[in-house]
Amino acid sequence: MTVTLASLSQRTGLAVLDHLEQSVSIPVVDGLQAQGDLIVIPLSVVASSVRPWIPTTWTDVPPEGVELLRGAAGGNPHTLVADPGTCRWTVDVMDSDRLAIGIFETSAVAYLLHPEHGATGCTPGTYVIRRQREHEGQRSRLVAD
Amino acid sequence: MRYADGWDVYAWHGTQVPSWVITGPDVHRIAQEANVEVRRCAIERIGWASYIEQAGLRLIAAAPDPGNPGSELRLYDMRKETKVLLAVNGSVERDGHRRRYGLTVPGFLNDPLDAAGWTYGLSAEQYSLLVRRT
């Protein structure tokens, strides 16, 4: 079945802005992709700086998805969505840059959904999700758009 | 927000700020402001692209943004030990345009791809692998 923004929004109950194209098939990407202030990186690309804690507590991604990050002042969430039984997720992650919020392993296409950015698909694999940072004074701050 | 007794409070995306940030932000006040968070809010209020133009920031380099066809990453000198990367949103706004936004990065970065990579903890080579941005 073709997965569209409309079908994903209906499946999860998460609303997206109505000016986004609702009916076209969501692109599925094998590799790095960014959704606003989040980036999805194949684990192999950053394996020298990111790895799961051992032991790792994995959680199955439920049908309604996992909220990864919410925007400033409680704003729009980035949500990881997958078919039941195909994707698991952990926050037990060690990152030398301290930007990773978790790792997911998926055996089918998994989707990232956001009300303003729409949706994007990830081919089966293991991925790190990292936040974006800015330089502020002598330190870094995490971006929350 | 102003109450009937005259007490008021100003905020930008949840951050409490002095009134000038909302009512009259300008490049001179921003240059004089010591608090980096207040500066950032005032610049966002003006808009990064307008601020860069009004403040006359010097362009250091520009490069195509991988995964964001037709969009450029533009790196500007901002202040001591800080540069700003002007990027283009991967998603369109309701009116069809793409919002431009600034990200402050450490001053030692001189390449737009290095700078974009740094914001995600990646090298320029790793960031160049970006297939898609939304």
**Mind listing the pLDDT tens digit for each residue in B107-118?**
999 999 999 999
Q: What is the pLDDT of residue A12?
A: 86
* Residue A73 reports pLDDT greater than 80: no
Task: Compute the distance between CA of residue A107 and CA of residue A110 in angstroms, rounded to an integer.
Answer: 8
CB-nearest to A27 from B40, B105, B132 is: B132
CB-nearest to A136 from B36, B101, B133 is: B36
Cβ <8 Å between B13 and A29? no
Average pLDDT, chain A: 91
Backbone phi and psi for residue B58, each to the nearest 5 degrees, phi listed first:
-85, 125
CB-nearest to B106 from A27, A97, A135 is: A135
Residue with tokens 């909302």: B22
Mutate to test the interface with A, among B120, B129, B130 (most CBs of A within 10 A): B120
Backbone phi and psi for residue A115, each to the nearest 5 degrees, phi listed first:
-55, -35
Amino acid at A134: E
Q: What is the pLDDT of residue B120?
A: 97
Task: Compute the distance between CA of residue A2 and CA of residue B58 in angstroms, rounded to an integer.
Answer: 47
pLDDT, tens digit, 9 for 90 and up, residues B36-73: 889 999 999 999 999 999 999 999 999 999 999 999 99
A41 in reach of chain B (CB within 8 A) = yes
Task: Compute the distance between CA of residue A90 and CA of residue B85 in angstroms, rounded to an integer.
Answer: 32
What's this model's pTM, rounded to 2 decimal places?
0.91
DSSP A45: G
* Residue A89 reports pLDDT greater than 80: yes
Q: What is the pLDDT of residue B11?
A: 93
Average pLDDT, chain B: 93
The larger pLDDT score, comparing residue A137 to residue A45, is at A45
Chain A residue closest in CA terms to B116: A132
* Residue A69 reports pLDDT greater than 80: yes
* Residue A74 reports pLDDT greater than 70: no
Cβ <8 Å between A117 and B91? yes
Cβ <8 Å between B134 and A35? yes
A128 in reach of chain B (CB within 8 A) = no
**Mean of pLDDT values over A125-142:** 93
Cβ <8 Å between B90 and A34? yes
Residue with tokens 């999860």: A12
Cβ <8 Å between A33 and B134? yes
* Residue A145 reports pLDDT greater than 80: no
Chain B residues within 8 Å of chain A (Cβ atoms)? 13-14, 36-37, 40, 67, 82, 89-94, 101, 103-106, 118-122, 126-127, 129-134
Task: Compute the distance between CA of residue B25 and CA of residue A4 in angstroms, rounded to an integer.
Answer: 42
Q: Considering only CA atoms, which of B43, B52, B42 is closest in space to residue B21? A: B42
Q: What is the pLDDT of residue A127?
A: 98
CB-nearest to A39 from B94, B103, B120 is: B120
State the complex-level ipTM: 0.92
Residue B101: list chain A partners with CB under 8 A. 145
CB-nearest to B103 from A32, A97, A134 is: A134
